[in-house]
Amino acid sequence: MRQAAIILHLWKATIIQAMEYRVSFVFAIIANFFDFVFGLLQYLIFFTAAKSIAGWDSDQMLVLYGVFMLVFALHFILLYPNLVAMGEMVNSGNLDLLLTKPVNTQLMVSFRRISLEELGSIGTAVLLLCWQLYRGVIVAEPGNILLFGVSMISSLLLIYSVFLLLICLAVIMERLENMAQLLWSMFALCRYPVDIYPDRIRYAFFSFLPVAFIATVPATALLGRASAMTVWLGFAVSISAVAACSWLWRRTIRVYTSAGG
Amino acid sequence: MSEQQHEYAICTRALNREFTVRLKAEGLIASLRNFFAPASRTVNAVNDLELLIRPGDIVGFLGPNGAGKTTTLKMLSGLLVPTSGSIEVLGYTPFNRDHAFLKSISLVMGQKQNLWWDLPPIETFAIHRRIYGLSDSEYNTRVKELIDMLEIADCLETQTRKLSLGQRMRCELAVSLLHQPQILFLDEPTIGLDILMQKKIREFLLDYHRRFKPTILLTSHYMDDVAALAQRVIVIDHGNKVFDGHLSDLTQKLHPEKIMSIVLNNGEFECKLADGCRLIHREGLHYRFLVNRSRVPEMAAKLYATGNIADLTIEDPPLEDLIGQLFTSGRQKPE
C-alpha cells in the first residue's frame, strides 16, 4: 500500500509537470488522436480490395485494432515515459539516488512517471469496441468476457516483462538508446492477426516470441473464437515472463556499476 | 538492529572493489578490432580499505580524482556490491538494501539531484515525505526547521529549473535531510558554488551536526570544506588508504613548518636559517617566512622583543598544498 501511495504521488507530480508545458501537452493529445484515426483508415483501405484477410473480416479486424490500441495506449501511458527516463537516469547517474531510497526499486523504475497524452486513444479505442459490441460483432457472453479479461492481463504482463528486460539491459550495458524502438517493433507485429503469417512464424508467435498473446488472443476472446487453453497458456507464459524479469532486475541492481566514481 | 547503538557507525574490513574497464586504442582499425574482440583490464578502485568511524563523527574523505572516494561512498550506501571484504553500516550490510538501513542514511551528490527539475522543491519534499513515511507532525516540524536553517523559504514554490545553483543545493540538502538520517554521505556538496555559498553550506552542516549529531562522511575538492567541518581526515590514493587521523597531525607530518608573516615598522629583518627560519617572500616591510613548528613561540617572542613589529600572523600552509604534496611526493605514507 505504501508503494502504491508513493507511485500515486509521483503520478500527481508528473501530471503537474506535464501541465507546465500546456501547448505541448494539448498538441500531443491531438497528434495521438490523429494517429488513431489514420491507423483506422489503413485497415478500412485494406478491405476495399478484399472481403477478409486470413479469415478476419473488416468488423473483426476493427475489434483487433480496438484491442491493439487499448494495449498500446496503456503501455504508452504507464510504461513508455519510464523507458525513456531510464536511459537518461542511467547515463546521468541519477539512478544512484533512486537506489538509495527505501522503496521497491522495480516498481519505482517501472511506474514513477505517467504520460496522459494517450488518454484520448484509450477513449477512442473503448468507443470503437463499444460500437462493435452494439453491432453484435463482439460476443458478450460471460465466458468470453472472462477469457478477454484474462488475456488482457496476460497481454499487459507480457509487455511489462519486455519493458523490464529492456530496463535491465539499459542498466547492464550502461547505455542503450532507442529502447522504445525495440518495444515498438514488437507492437508492429501485434497490429495484425497472427493468422496472416505462415505456420512456422505463427508457431513462433505463440511460443518463443509470444506476440500472439498481446492483441490477437484478446481480440479472438471478444469475438468468441478463443480457445480457453490458449488463453490460460498465455496467462502462464506472462506470469513466468514477469517472474523471470523481476529476478533479472534483482540481479541487475547487484551488478550495477553506477556512472562515474 | 538499527535501534541498537553500535560502537562504530561504519566499519569496513579488507574492503575491495574491482571494475572491468574496456580498453580502446586510437584509430579506426583499432576500434574495429576492439569491436570484434574487446580488450579490457581490471582496475582496483578500492584496496583493502579499513574504516572505523564512530557515531556522530565528521570525517573528511580526501583523495585526487579516481582515488576511490566515490566508489567507497557508493559501497557504504549500498549502491555497489564489494568484490571482497566486509562492510557494516549501523549494523547493516549496505548492499542488502534493507529499507530500515536506507531510511537511516542519505546520499547527497553535488552533481546529481533529487529535486524534480520542472516542479517547485516543495513538491519533491512531499514525495520524500511519502517515501520515508513521515507523519504530518514530523514532516511539518522538520520542513520548518530546515527552511529556517537553510534560509530557503523564498525558493520553495519556484520551479527548480529557475533556481540558482546555490538555492538548488540548499533545497537538495533539505530534501536529503527530511528523514533525519543517522548517516550522511556527502559527495562534493559544494561543487560549483561560489565562496559565499560554500561558506553558507559549511555553516549549515556544522549547525545541523551540532543539533542532530549525524555521522558525516564528506568528500570535497575544496579543502576549506574539510578544514571547516572534519575533525578527522582519511586520505586515499589509488584505492589505498594513505592517512587516517586528525587534520593537524597530517599537517604536522607533511609540513613541519608554519608560515609566519610580519610587517615591520621600519628597517630590515634578517631571516636566518640558524633560527629555523626560511624566507619565502618579501615586499617592502612585509616578510613571509617558514619557521620550524617547535621554534614558532621562541621566534614570535624574539620578534616582539625587538619592538619593531607592526603586525604578526602565524598560519599553517594551505591544505591544498599539503594534499598535493602528499600525492606527488612518491606516494609515500606519512605514517
Look at residue B309 and tell me if it is in a domain: yes
Q: Are residues B91 and B174 in the same domain?
A: yes
Q: Does A93 touch chain B (CB under 8 A)?
A: yes
Q: Are residues B176 and B105 in the same domain?
A: yes
Residue A176 pLDDT greater than 80, yes or no: no
- Give the mutation candidate from A173, A257, A258 for the B interface (greatest B CB count, under 10 A): A257
User: What SS3 string covers chain A?
Assistant: CHHHHHHHHHHHHHHHHHHHCHHHHHHHHHHHHHHHHHHHHHHHHHHHHCCEECCEEHHHHHHHHHHHHHHHHHHHHHCHHHHHHHHHHHHHCCHHHHHCCCCCHHHHHHHCCCCHHHHHHHHHHHHHHHHHHHCCCCCCCHHHHHHHHHHHHHHHHHHHHHHHHHHHHHHHHCCCCCHHHHHHHHHHHHCCCHHHCCHHHHHHHHCCCCHHHCCHHHHHHHCCCCCHHHHHHHHHHHHHHHHHHHHHHHHHHHHCCCCCC
Distance from CA of B330 to the nearest CA of A (A): 24
Alpha-carbon dihedral angle through residues A181, A185, A190, A191, given to the nearest 10 degrees: 80
Q: Are residues B206 and B112 in the same domain?
A: yes
Of B251, B276, B307, the residue that ends a domain is: B251
Across the interface, whether the CB atoms of B113 and A261 are under 8 A apart is answered no
Domain count, chain B: 2
**pLDDT band per the 50, 70, 90 thresholds, residue A261:** low
Average pLDDT over residues A202-217: 85
Residue A169 pLDDT greater than 80, yes or no: yes
Across the interface, whether the CB atoms of B112 and A261 are under 8 A apart is answered no
Round to the nearest angstrom and report the end-to-end CA distance of chain B: 36
Distance CA B236, CA A15 (A): 45
Half-sphere exposure of B179 (CA within 13 A, CB side): 26
The domain containing residue B311 runs over which residues?
Answer: 256-315
Q: State the pLDDT at residue B333.
A: 47
**Nearest Cβ partner of B127 from A13, A255, A257?**
A13
Cβ atoms within 10 Å of B10's Cβ, excluding its own: 23
Q: Which amino acid type is present at position A124?
A: T
Residue A217 pLDDT greater than 90, yes or no: yes
Q: Are residues B81 and B128 in the same domain?
A: yes
Average pLDDT over residues B292-315: 87
Q: Does A92 touch chain B (CB under 8 A)?
A: yes
Look at residue B282 and tell me if it is in a domain: yes
Q: State the pLDDT at residue B221.
A: 77
- Summarised one tens digit per residue, pLDDT across range B205-233 is 999 999 999 999 998 877 778 888 898 99
Q: Are residues B181 and B264 in the same domain?
A: no
Across the interface, whether the CB atoms of B123 and A16 are under 8 A apart is answered yes
Query: What DSSP designation does B115 have?
Result: S
Q: Are residues B264 and B152 in the same domain?
A: no
Across the interface, whether the CB atoms of A260 and B81 are under 8 A apart is answered no
Q: Are residues B264 and B232 in the same domain?
A: no
- Summarised one tens digit per residue, pLDDT across range A25-68 is 788 888 888 888 888 888 888 888 888 888 888 899 999 999 99
- Summarised one tens digit per residue, pLDDT across range A5-26 is 999 999 988 888 887 777 887 8
Q: Does A258 touch chain B (CB under 8 A)?
A: yes
State if pTM tops 0.80: yes
Which chain A residue is nearest to residue B122, measuring alpha carbons?
Answer: A13
- Summarised one tens digit per residue, pLDDT across range B142-199 is 999 999 999 999 999 999 999 999 999 999 999 999 999 999 999 988 888 888 888 8
Distance from CA of A61 to the nearest CA of B (A): 42
Q: B303: which 3 cell numbers? A: 620578534
Q: Return the percentage of chain A with pLDDT > 70, whole number.
A: 98
If one compares A181 and B301, the residue with the highest pLDDT of the two is B301
C-alpha distance from residue A189 to each of A8, A182, A232, B67 (Å)? 32, 11, 22, 50
Across the interface, whether the CB atoms of B79 and A258 are under 8 A apart is answered yes
Average pLDDT over residues B76-91: 95
Distance from CA of B316 to the nearest CA of A (A): 31
Q: Are residues B186 and B232 in the same domain?
A: yes
Across the interface, whether the CB atoms of A257 and B116 are under 8 A apart is answered no
Look at residue B5 and tell me if it is in a domain: no
- Give the mutation candidate from B21, B46, B75, B97 for the A interface (greatest A CB count, under 10 A): B97
Ramachandran category for residue B267: left, alpha or beta (phi over 0 → left; psi -120 to 50 → alpha): left
Distance CA A115, CA A117 (A): 6
Q: Which residues on chain B are in Cβ contact (under 8 Å) with A101?
A: 102, 131
Q: Are residues B188 and B261 in the same domain?
A: no
- Summarised one tens digit per residue, pLDDT across range B102-143 is 999 999 988 888 888 888 999 999 999 999 999 999 999 999
Q: Does A10 touch chain B (CB under 8 A)?
A: yes
Q: Are residues B59 and B199 in the same domain?
A: yes
Cα-based angle B230, B236, B237 (whole degrees, multiple of 5)? 145
What's B112's domain CATH number? 3.40.50.300
Average pLDDT over residues A93-98: 88
Q: Does A173 touch chain B (CB under 8 A)?
A: no
Whether the complex's predicted ipTM surpasses the cut of 0.85: no
Q: Are residues B236 and B261 in the same domain?
A: no
Residue A253 CB partners (closer than 8 Å, separation 6+):
A99, A105, A171, B97
Residue B167's SS3 state is helix
Residue B289's SS3 state is strand
For residue B263, list its beta bridge partners.
B286, B311
Q: Which residues on chain B are in Cβ contact (under 8 Å) with A257?
A: 19, 80
Look at residue B334 and tell me if it is in a domain: no
Q: Are residues B155 and B300 in the same domain?
A: no
